[in-house]
Amino acid sequence: MTHFPKITRELLVSNRCGIHLRVGNMLAQKAKEFSSDIRIRKGTYAADCRSVLDILSLGAFQGDAVVIETVGEDAQQAAEAIAELFNARFYEDEQVQ
Amino acid sequence: MKFADFILPGAVKAEITAANKQAVIREMVQSLLDAGGIEKDEYESIVKAISKREELGSTGIGRGIAVPHTKHPSVNRLVGSVAVCSEGIDFDSLDCEKVYLFFLLVSPPERPGDHLRALEHITRQLKDDTFCRFLKQSKTKEDILALLEEADNNMFGK
């Protein structure tokens, strides 16, 4: 069995409204484009990035640091794609939640 | 944040009569109005705002749960209603399944943190299969309120 190293990225939640439902959905949809296992960790909580319910239960607010962990064949690409969403502040229109 | 901080006990309903997405929203906003959580003059405006938010993407987040919501300047604190539908309603959910549990939230625009804390609490509790199953099986308002209180008191596993 092939062993894939875990890739981790520290990211900051920088949009004003934090990881709310629409952002959670955006992350879950992106995660589903990859075969790798993708987790978002905040403190002691870890969420499966494919589950909106899981992601929302993190309670990730503006200014919070989270860690993305990816393991699998396309782990590098997955980590980059998720990081891109964070860095783009989830393309948020701050007026709509 | 706990359910007791934002769910108005008078806005909790078992067995809602609504048969479609729009009717659910109207019935739940009416619950908020009946419970004194919103002003009568704002009813249509709040229904419209929640419906508009649904157009951006369904708040049916899977596992039979939906969290329709909006920010609205007419409220000065986060208010929420709960509804259970044992038959399930098509809510255009992300997983294409029917929705049995509804948490409707209206929050002041300037307080996005409260909305996020409420979502965090709702989803953390609903990740617990026992809580989720019992809530879906609730037949009376009293049953729902008792379950919410137990969840607030950390009586379900995380």
What residues does B103 pair with on adjacent strands? Answer: B82
Active site residue B72: no
Query: Is the CB of B59 less than 8 angstroms away from the CB of A16?
Result: no
Candidates B63, B71, B123: best to mutate against A (most CBs of A within 10 A) is B123
The end-to-end CA distance of chain A, in Å, is 44
The pLDDT of A41-61, averaged and rounded, is 94
Query: Is the CB of A97 less than 8 angstroms away from the CB of B120?
Result: no
What CA–CA distance (Å, rounded) separates B152 from B156? 9
pLDDT given at position A53: 92
User: How do the domains of chain B map onto residue ranges?
Assistant: 3-151
Q: What is the pLDDT along chain B (158 residues), one digit of tens a residue?
A: 999 999 999 999 998 888 899 999 999 999 999 999 999 999 999 999 999 999 999 999 999 999 999 999 999 999 999 999 988 999 998 888 999 999 999 999 998 899 999 999 999 999 999 999 999 999 999 999 999 999 999 877 55
Considering only the beta carbons, identify the residue of B57, B65, B117 that sits closest to A22. Answer: B57
Query: Is the CB of A52 less than 8 angstroms away from the CB of B62?
Result: yes
What is the H or E stretch that residue A46 is in? Answer: strand A45-48
Measured in whole angstroms, the distance separating CA B68 from the mean position of its chain's CA atoms is 7
Q: Which CATH architecture has domain A7-91?
A: 2-Layer Sandwich (3.30)
The CATH number that domain B3-151 falls under is 3.40.930.10
Which of the 8 DSSP states describes residue A17? Answer: T
Residue A97 has pLDDT above 50, yes or no: no
Query: Is the CB of A97 less than 8 angstroms away from the CB of B67?
Result: no
% of chain A exceeding 90 in pLDDT: 87
pLDDT given at position A96: 44
List of chain A residues whose C-beta atoms are within 8 Å of the C-beta of residue B71 = 97
pLDDT given at position B99: 96
User: B106-115: b or e for each residue (b if 16 or more CB lie within 10 Å)?
Assistant: bbbeeebbbb
What CA–CA distance (Å, rounded) separates B53 from B156? 31
Query: What mean pLDDT value characterizes chain B?
Result: 93
Angle between helices B141-152 and B129-136 (to 10 degrees): 160
Considering only the beta carbons, identify the residue of B53, B63, B115 that sits closest to A53. Answer: B63
Q: What is the pLDDT of residues B72-105, one digit of tens each?
A: 999 999 999 999 998 899 999 888 899 999 999 9
Portion 17-76 of A in contact with B at CB < 8 A: 17-22, 24-25, 28, 51-54, 56-61
Query: Is the CB of B62 less than 8 angstroms away from the CB of A96?
Result: no
ipTM of the complex: 0.84
Render chain B in DSSP notation, one character per residue. Answer: --HHHHEEEEEEEES----SHHHHHHHHHHHHHHTTSS-GGGHHHHHHHHHHHHHTS--EEETTEE--EEE-TT-SS-EEEEEEEEEEE----TTS--EEEEEEEEE-TT-HHHHHHHHHHHHHHHTSHHHHHHHHT--SHHHHHHHHHHHHTT-S--
Number of H helices, E strands in chain A: 3, 4
Considering only the beta carbons, identify the residue of B65, B112, B117 that sits closest to A17. Answer: B112
Catalytic residues of A: 20
